[in-house]
Amino acid sequence: MKTPTALMTDLYQLTMAAGYFHHGLHAKRVSFELFVRRLPENRRFMLFAGLERVLDYLRNLHFTESQIAYLRQVPHLQTAMSYDFVEFLRDFRFTGDVWAMPEGTVCFAREPMIRVTGTLLETQLVETFLLSAINTETIVATKAARIILAADGRDVLEFGTRRTSPDEAVASARAAFIAGFAATSNVEAGYRWDIPVAGTAAHSWTMSHASEEDAFRNYVEVFPKHATLLVDTYDTIEGVKRAIAVAHDRLKGIRLDSGDLLALSTQARRLLDEAGLRDTKIVASGDLNEDKIQRLVAAGAPIDGFGVGTELVRSSDNPTLGGVYKIVFDHTEDRPVAKFSEGKATLPGLHQVFRKYRDGIAESDVIGTAPEFHIDSTPLVEEWMKDGRLVRPLPSLAKIRSRARTQLAEMPVAVRGLGPPNPAEAYDVRLSHGLQTLIDEVRKREMT
């Protein structure tokens, strides 16, 4: 049972809907595109995520009688809730077309992540939900991709649920998995999408026993095949020794959650190896982010897996994505639309992104008009919905994840790096000759 989502929007989408309806403008056919004007601060790319939720929303969008009754008594809307408009809302379904990049696509500023074509009313109404879903899932997937790049092949586990809201936690676990995380602690995400779930015990498990030794023994007894023991409740190195003594060859792993992770992991590895436990893994967690992980990896810390929470779901170096959703074409009047104001300029027309490769590495993106064809390049924006219906099955999460891996691997070294982006090394995104010509035409038309 899905929560009805039609009211998960800003009121002004409904006032505008009522206004368009009243003036007979609602059926005008237009296209909107969703993009960011600039890359988020401290980011060299974005990893697109959230489309599945958007398509799910669009397919299920409708107003219940109870929602309509509510809208009829909102003071602001009262004058606009005519009999005809109420009837219209009762029958309302999204009937538009959707083109978008597949989830797991690496993308850049000004590139259309989603394009929605339909009536002015329906394309406008869905703006808020689309921005909400894409802004939040893409910012997490992007952060997750940076963490994956930092971990350089080591496993990363998603532990963020307690630092984000209950529902967003589930979406964040999915976004992290797309980017390459190995597993999540969020059980709902495992239940919903079959994402591998991970987690063993908290410090409170140890503290609820008379001694650390009792706690370890009791754990191994219940989970003989999955005994990863949290060793830092009291003294970490003593904890490692105790874990070895109690679990022997059933010790699948140990987790370090505090202290100098380089020094502790090095000592722990030596103790494990001396005990013949070469296959026992070391997992580290505790306020980790991509920079700390990169330093640990560079220093050769013998850590097999990293757990990341807070910094993934509420990235302190960049908590928001500034996605916008702007009208680009008026089909009724067959007219490309753009804004040219400084810092808020938009690109007129329907767009496609053509990615060019050299020796398997992405070299540049060309933003062109949708009908263009560029030889030796891959178009990134694909058709998903036509007249409100899916035109093909949604890709599996495994397929999305695999796309993300490929996309990240194909990026040049400068894009895959973590430090503050250097404009001189920024990925090359240019406008096609056709689009540039169109911009000049529209600008000329606007000035006259």
Residue position matching structure tokens 């010790």: 251
The minimum distance between CB 354 and a copy of itself, in angstroms, equals 28
Site for a copy of itself in 187-206 (CB under 8 A): 187-188, 190-191, 197-202, 204-205
| 285 in Cβ contact with 311 (< 8 Å) | no
Q: Encoding tokens for residue 24?
A: 């007979």
Q: Which is nearer to a copy of itself, 112 or 368 (CB)?
A: 112
The minimum distance between CB 7 and a copy of itself, in angstroms, equals 4
The one segment of 129-137, 146-154, 263-271, 293-301 that binds a copy of itself by CB under 8 A: 129-137
102: phi then psi, degrees, rounded to nearest 5: -65, 150
* Binding flag, residue 127, a copy of itself (CB under 8 A): yes
The minimum distance between CB 302 and a copy of itself, in angstroms, equals 23
Please, which residues have CB within 8 angstroms of residue 445's CB and are 6 or more apart in sequence?
none
* Residue choice 42, 67, 95, 267 for contact with a copy of itself (CB under 8 A): 67
Site for a copy of itself in 314-343 (CB under 8 A): 314-316, 319-320, 322-323, 326-327, 337, 339
The minimum distance between CB 277 and a copy of itself, in angstroms, equals 19
Site for a copy of itself in 221-250 (CB under 8 A): 221-226
Site for a copy of itself in 144-163 (CB under 8 A): 159, 161-163
14: closest CA among 97, 133, 127? 127
Residue position matching structure tokens 């600008």: 443
Strands 155-158, 183-184: pairing is: parallel
The minimum distance between CB 448 and a copy of itself, in angstroms, equals 15
The minimum distance between CB 179 and a copy of itself, in angstroms, equals 17
Please, which residues have CB within 8 angstroms of residue 171's CB and are 6 or more apart in sequence?
50, 53, 133, 136, 137, 140
The one segment of 21-29, 144-152, 293-301, 429-437 that binds a copy of itself by CB under 8 A: 21-29
C-alpha 80/C-alpha 15 separation (Å) is 8
* Residue choice 132, 265, 285, 289 for contact with a copy of itself (CB under 8 A): 132
The minimum distance between CB 80 and a copy of itself, in angstroms, equals 5
The minimum distance between CB 143 and a copy of itself, in angstroms, equals 12
The minimum distance between CB 264 and a copy of itself, in angstroms, equals 15
Task: Tell me the per-residue interface mask from 82 to 121 with a copy of itself, x by CB under 8 A, - otherwise.
Answer: --------------------------------------x-
Classify the phi-psi angles of 110: left when phi > 0, otherwise alpha if psi is within -120 to 50, otherwise beta.
Answer: left
* Residue choice 98, 109, 169, 176 for contact with a copy of itself (CB under 8 A): 169
> Which amino acid would we find at residue 128?
T
* C-alpha distances in Å from residue 292, one per residue of 190, 311, 429: 27, 11, 30
C-alpha 191/C-alpha 231 separation (Å) is 29
Please, which residues have CB within 8 angstroms of residue 59's CB and are 6 or more apart in sequence?
94, 385, 388, 389, 390
* Binding flag, residue 409, a copy of itself (CB under 8 A): no
| 264 in Cβ contact with 236 (< 8 Å) | yes
* Binding flag, residue 211, a copy of itself (CB under 8 A): no
* Binding flag, residue 80, a copy of itself (CB under 8 A): yes
Q: What is the largest CA-CA distance in the chain?
A: 83
* Binding flag, residue 259, a copy of itself (CB under 8 A): no
* Binding flag, residue 361, a copy of itself (CB under 8 A): no
* Binding flag, residue 173, a copy of itself (CB under 8 A): no
The minimum distance between CB 111 and a copy of itself, in angstroms, equals 19
Question: How many of the other CB atoms lie within 10 Å of CB of 18?
Answer: 22
Q: Encoding tokens for residue 416?
A: 């895959």
C-alpha 195/C-alpha 99 separation (Å) is 27
* Binding flag, residue 9, a copy of itself (CB under 8 A): yes
* Residue choice 27, 165, 357, 425 for contact with a copy of itself (CB under 8 A): 165
